[in-house]
Chains A and B, each alone.
Chain A
């Protein structure tokens, strides 16, 4: 058995967070994790071989531990201690925190104050001449039990490893749902981000221990006021975040949350914040290459994160991808969809199995721009157009109904390639129903 004790960054957990949440991050390394007094105790003897030995595991744990303390980085070593039993590890950690060197003989030389069960009786024991655990241990057991209670003896037995020590192991909840009381009323949405960060950290620990990635989560906040200016307020307001690939790293989610919160306006001051995971998926760990990565290996964020982040800031309809449709009306040949949730590739090869015909203009004018007439010739920007090629007749779209003049519906058109001195080659059509001319495309 080998035990590690880790000093919790803050002994008082944030109001609303369960105390066990402070130990979730360690469940990735060993299933035996428990909270005892001000420390987190980890039984690592059973799993250290899986992590490549004791030293490797300790280095990993040091790196993985959340650094909630404002202690400098070189102080990291003073938050860890190891011992053969849980109570010895804890006692050594307390010694380290007090700045004392560990005693020559373990565990006999440990001072009384490092064992919680002996603390209430420290003064009486000192007056008996006892300075260390070993001094108490050699006293007659019956007398000690009568004077100080059997709890002292049991704690000493557990510290020596003679009696079993049952700890309340930390277990993970099935679903992630946490609520947090805010330390102060939040007046603006970005102020929620700081508290949201703590919830995201807890979520990350939960995900790591369960080997899951999160796909969707909901952040909700509770309004402090029931009504404002005579308007009833809903008690809770929530916001959903979704991502395309299961994620464990919180950097992307934090950026998404910041973008979304920047657009939110709080209806009233907020006093509670809750985070719930809506959808999770098993995470496939990244496969590392045997060879070192190439020098010019692509760095930067992947496409889906880029799209989600920009859509969160600019709006989903600002980023669009195009899908082709088999149709003869140019405005119906392509449809733009939000890039966040693109529809699957359509079978655009139905109409043109050998590829799209050449000769369309690369720019489309939507909606078609009406052209004025000089006599019978259409004019663009006051200059008459010279028709170079055409007509190409398109009569299609009867199935879309009349459309009410929105461009949809039955189109009866003659298309021409026309030239204007000012605008170069353009693509115009004459609506056969009304006889009006329209500009629909621009060549170079």
Chain B
């Protein structure tokens, strides 16, 4: 057998040291440092991606919005949210570039909501006009997780599953698992599992959009300046002012 391994090109099979150029369908995450950590350089299509969050942390949107917005805009398909913990605020998502007319929210009625949500999630993966599914399913047994992974793989769909961080010690059929930790104004993303070598260093991404950061900086600077003026001291250079909903709503009205 004189076939060199490098000449073998089988879809979905790659050498372990070339995991970053893995030949699989991916979607650009919109975050450069995160792309570098994911096999193929983006969110994998046809694959369940598990995002593990601390309780009461709602930091999924900054991570997912860039990819989701582009997917819905270009693919002209629906994004399905299954059992979101709070009500998504559509004006904010629209401002971030997500066409909200493509958004569909599924909230199963209370008795048996978990089972119904998992079922709805699987059905959404089977629908050909759905581009991405985001599911908040904290209580889900492994057989159901496996079903979801199989459905995503069979229909080449994007599925993000958001679960509490307590589940990171449990085994999971998801080929990609990320652990998100908000830290001040930043979001630490630790890759727990991927089709590649073990990731040692977490990726640090901005946890809020640039406009909000700029506005908070401007406000903090104004406060410092007022204090300094009161003390009669020289002040630093002001940061660049940015128009903002909270600061500049009156301007937008005209």
Contact = CB atoms under 8 A, between A and B. Distances in A.
A194 interface: no
Given A302-B127, A417-B212, A417-B246, A362 B109 contact: no
Interface stretch (A110-118, A168-176, A284-292, A309-317): A309-317
A361 B126 contact: no
A161 interface: no
B247 A392 contact: yes
A400 interface: no
B89 A362 contact: yes
Contact of A366 (B61, B87, B116, B182): B87
B105 A302 contact: no
B100 interface: yes
Contacts of B92: 356, 360-362
B103 interface: yes
Nearest to A422: B56
A175 to B, nearest CB: 33
Contact of B246 (A354, A359, A365): A359
Contacts of B124: 306
Given A330-B89, A356-B94, A301 B127 contact: yes
A301 B209 CA distance: 36
Interface string B186-218: 010000000000000000000111011001100
A14 B244 CA distance: 71
Contact of B126 (A300, A330, A422, A425): A300
A423 B245 contact: no
A314 B106 contact: yes
A101 interface: no
A204 B1 CA distance: 59
A345 to B, nearest CB: 6
Nearest to B253: A351
Contact of B101 (A321, A358, A364): A321
A362 B88 contact: yes
A442 B108 contact: no
Contacts of B93: 362
A298 interface: yes
A442 B58 contact: yes
Interface string B47-67: 000000000111101100100
A300 B61 CA distance: 28
A357 B95 contact: yes
Given A300-B126, A324-B94, A333-B90, A352 B107 contact: no
Interface of B: 56-59, 61-62, 65, 78, 85-96, 100-101, 103-109, 116, 120, 123-124, 126-130, 155-156, 182, 187, 207-209, 211-212, 215-216, 219-220, 243-249, 252-253
Given A310-B120, A314-B116, A361-B89, 9 more contacts: A306-B124, A319-B104, A321-B104, A334-B90, A361-B92, A389-B247, A422-B56, A442-B86, A444-B187
